[in-house]
Structure 1
Amino acid sequence: MKLPSFFIAHGSPLLALEDNEYTRFLERLGQELEAPRGIVVFSAHWDSPEQLLTIDEKHETQHDFYGFPEEMYTLTYPAPGDPALTKRISELFKGNNLSHQPVLGRGLDHGVWVILKKMFPKADIPVVALSVDSLRSPKEQYNIGRMLAPLRDEGILLIGSGGLVHNLRMLNESDQPEEWALEFDAWIAKGLESWDVPSLFAYEKKAPHVRDAVPSYGREHFAPLFYAMGTADGSRKAERIFQAYQYGTLSLNCWKLD
């Protein structure tokens, strides 16, 4: 069973409580996918210069946010870990000479559990979380994802969780998207659909409105796209299967990479 990979926007942590078009899409997506043997998530909320990965047998739930309704802090996603899958990932990294370190007891951050709680609410599928390095070049990020491509043939679902337009300092009260956000997403979509890797790797110089869409303090949310793309390097097919916006400048999108 070969599974597709995905880039999934995790938006606001409030998605865990909300019932809207995007949360219903995530629920359907989880139901429509063949049940994976395990799930591997590159999370924007684990930014590290060294490649890290969880090795827990059972995960705690991180509430790594503040200022939200009290109910948010009672939500849990007690998915099991999979030390054997962690070992398999470590072998793939080692075979490609990538320095990495398993981490015990970290738990799942909201970049991981918010989307999985919608997609797989039973929390019964093993999860391994991986860090990203927002300071690596897009090519390096892509190549790390490519190291894990064999897992797709082993029943493992690979996800990059972040946000393509993610500027929390420019949010507004309307869900009507700003024109510059639409233009940036359209430029990214064109590059993905044609798998124009050279242009996408140079997005910081070529993409319109890039300083607004991917501010210097928020690059970690864009990085998971390249990790996810790398996992699909063999086929190089991308399809946007959902697009919406919250607060005018928070892009909620899902790209299927198959």
Structure 2
Amino acid sequence: MAGHSKFKNIMHRKGAQDKKRSSMFSKLSREITVAAKMGLPDPDMNPRLRAAIAAAKAQSMPKDNIQRSIDKASKGDTESYEEIRYEGFGPGGVSLIIEALTDNRNRTATNVRTAVSKNGGNLGTAGSVSHGFDRVGLITYPASAGDADKVFEAALEAGAEDVTSGEDGHEIWTAVGDLHEVAKALEPVLGESTGAKLAWRPQTNVEVGEGDAATLFKLIDTLDDDDDVQQVWGNYEVSDAVMEKLG
């Protein structure tokens, strides 16, 4: 368990979460509704819903919006969403896994394929890149939760498998089946997390140069702007020097 390695955000580049507020709330609302519809509408009895609500709170989503999303599922007053995973390659040979929730498979497939092809990438078949990732649980905390030593000790005690900490915050990795138990065990020590979800963690990273990084970030931003796309995972690594050049 490596608790002091440099923090790496494999989901988004720094600053990518400055997306439109309405689009972000739409994605969060969709996940809450789907989670509530698939299980019980009580977060204490529904780990996926609990994680979705935690993510919404971390983004300051109003309580009324959260409750409205749960109520939609309880009343059956919602579209039927399908979970879809796309796999492919981005600029610089980066492997990408794109997760979506959609009520129109054809629309989403067209939008995702267009975004990828216009930004130096191409989609592959199912399994074309996921073999290079591990399916794991991911719990995130802000830097304010504590220093690296405190978070490392808490995660170790809770049964986590790995921790990465840095100035941006902490990522706590777990086995898939342990995600929600570890998350619960961490709350009394570190407080409520900013997210607890299943994740794709790359087994190896690809270092991306300035030119490819600029195109890659444009691709990720384009995908993030699509309401159907919930999450983009990649095995890219960008140096601090390149990040500074790109601003």
TM range (shorter): under 0.3
Please identify the structure whose Cα radius of gyration is greater: 2
Greater RCO, 1 or 2 (C-alpha within 8 Å, sep 6+): 1
* TM-score of the pair, normalised by structure 1: 0.26
Q: Which structure shows the higher helix fraction? A: 2
